[in-house]
Amino acid sequence: MDRTEEIEYFRPHQVNRALVSTPRAGGKSFIVARALRRLGQDVTLYGFLGGPTGQYLRAECAKLGIRDRHTTIEGETRINTVLVDRHAGLATVINEPGPEISKTEAESLRRALDEHIEAGDILVLSGSLPRGIPLDTYAGLITSARQRGARAIVDAEGEVLVSAVSVGPWAVKCNLQEFRAIAPDAPEEVTTEAARQQLFDCMRVIVAAGVQLVIVTLGANGLLAVSRTEALEVSAPSVVAKNPTGSGDTFLAAFVAAYSNASSLEYALKFGAAAASANAAVLVPDIGPSPQLDTLVAGTTVIRHEPDFADSGVAGTDR
Ligand SMILES: Nc1ncnc2c1ncn2[C@@H]1O[C@H](COP(=O)(O)OP(=O)(O)OP(=O)(O)O)[C@@H](O)[C@H]1O
Ligand SMILES: [Mg+2]
């Protein structure tokens, strides 16, 4: 849960009085699930919930129409506090360490997912892993989803991302900094045409290694996407950014919603970028109302690049 405390002037090392205190179901999975529901998708959440905060989040699932298949844990679900200094317009974030998950609890989540996931489902694996969970957990879930005819898309970082990519998920979405964990040769920033080409090349290598779709988001600069047959550069529709946190999660939800409605890859990416921009323009992570999304989609441009797999060995391969 995220709890936002709005303070007129934040003074460190002193007693501060909050003007407004707002709790909200937070974390990557909730941002993704809430946006998917707003877009009319049938959503089931898996994860770990415990204690009174866990109860609060279960009630939120019911309110939002999200199917709640969380595993109940001994530990307590964490609260992350955001201290907003109204005068400075800046926030200080305090993230609790979060509960430790036992082996039995981890196995219980795995069983719930194995039991319910069906052919045609899209499994979104989003965020870091709680303490006590092995780093290769996403890899196991991806393999198991594939065996059941479901497709997995991963948004993670570091070793968790490396391990997930090694088993060939359907898709990967990460930001540039996270992408460098699986592609150390990727540029640190994309400000020149040469850097963009270098990034495209690194993404092609990941596709060649068995991931069907690689999406790297670049904040206000939009995103690049590479599949076996397409290489696309998508601009982010320009907005006055208030808080881009959660834009990647909102992109992921909107992309998955459009893609599962049989939109083309190009349209799904544009729709994702539009929703992500709408999220960046508001203070609390949220997808915009649909008329605003239509305007933002119209403000998104796509440049098609040559797929150009001649050197990467991808051409002609099929998983
Ligand atoms: N300032 C901005 N203005 C317009 N669009 C933005 C802005 N920041 C982000 N976006 C949109 O959001 C998408 C994802 O942003 P970003 O690359 O920052 O994701 P992220 O780092 O994964 O974010 P998070 O993990 O906090 O959700 C971008 O591809 C872009 O379409
Ligand atoms: Mg992200």
Strands, E, within the chain: which ranges? 2-7, 20-24, 44-45, 48-49, 67-68, 71-72, 80-85, 90-94, 122-126, 151-155, 171-175, 213-217, 223-227, 231-234, 302-305
Ligand lying closest to the C-alpha of residue 32: 1
Q: Whose CA is nearest to atom 17 of ligand 1?
A: 219
Q: What is the DSSP string of 37-67?
A: HHTT---EE-SEE-HHHHHHHHHHHHHHT-E
pLDDT recorded at residue 311: 52
With a CB cutoff of 8 Å and minimum separation 6, the contacts of 146 are 152, 170
Question: What is the Cα–Cα distance from 73 to 94, expressed in whole angstroms?
Answer: 23
Ligand 1: nearest atom to the Cα of 285: 27
CATH fold match for the domains 1-9+17-116 and 117-308: yes
Q: What residue has token string 């003074």?
A: 11
pLDDT recorded at residue 307: 78
pLDDT recorded at residue 194: 96
Question: What is the Cα–Cα distance from 79 to 25, expressed in whole angstroms?
Answer: 9
β pairing state of 171-175 and 20-24: unpaired
pLDDT digits (tens, 9 = 90+) for 145-184: 999 999 999 999 999 999 999 999 999 999 999 999 999 9
User: Candidates 3.40.50.300, 3.40.1190.20, 3.40.50.1100, 3.40.190.10; correct CATH number of 1-9+17-116?
Assistant: 3.40.1190.20
Q: Whose CA is nearest to atom 5 of ligand 1?
A: 277
DSSP state of 272: H
pLDDT recorded at residue 81: 94
Show the ligand 1 pocket: residues with CB < 6 angstroms: 175, 217-220, 222-223, 236, 239, 241, 244-249, 251, 273, 276-277, 280
pLDDT recorded at residue 306: 84
Give distance in angstroms: CA of 316 to centre of ligand 2. 32
Under-70 pLDDT residues of the chain: 309-319
- For residue 46, the Cα-to-chain-centroid distance in whole angstroms is 15
DSSP reduced 3-state for 117: coil
CA neighbor of 54 nearest in space, from 39, 65, 70: 70
Beta-bridge partners for 217: 175, 223
Residue type at 140 in one-letter notation: G
Q: What are the domain boundaries of the chain?
A: 1-9+17-116, 117-308
pLDDT recorded at residue 317: 39
pLDDT recorded at residue 78: 95
Look at the domain 117-308 and name its fold.
UDP-N-acetylmuramoyl-L-alanine:D-glutamate ligase (3.40.1190)
pLDDT recorded at residue 309: 65
Question: What is the Cα–Cα distance from 169 to 171, expressed in whole angstroms?
Answer: 5
With a CB cutoff of 8 Å and minimum separation 6, the contacts of 162 are 181, 182
Give distance in angstroms: CA of 16 to centre of ligand 2. 31
Which of 179, 247, 295 most suits a substitution to test ligand 1, by most atoms within 8 Å of the C-beta?
247
pLDDT recorded at residue 318: 37
Residue type at 308 in one-letter notation: D
Give distance in angstroms: CA of 217 to centre of ligand 1. 7
Which of 216, 217, 233 most suits a substitution to test ligand 1, by most atoms within 8 Å of the C-beta?
217
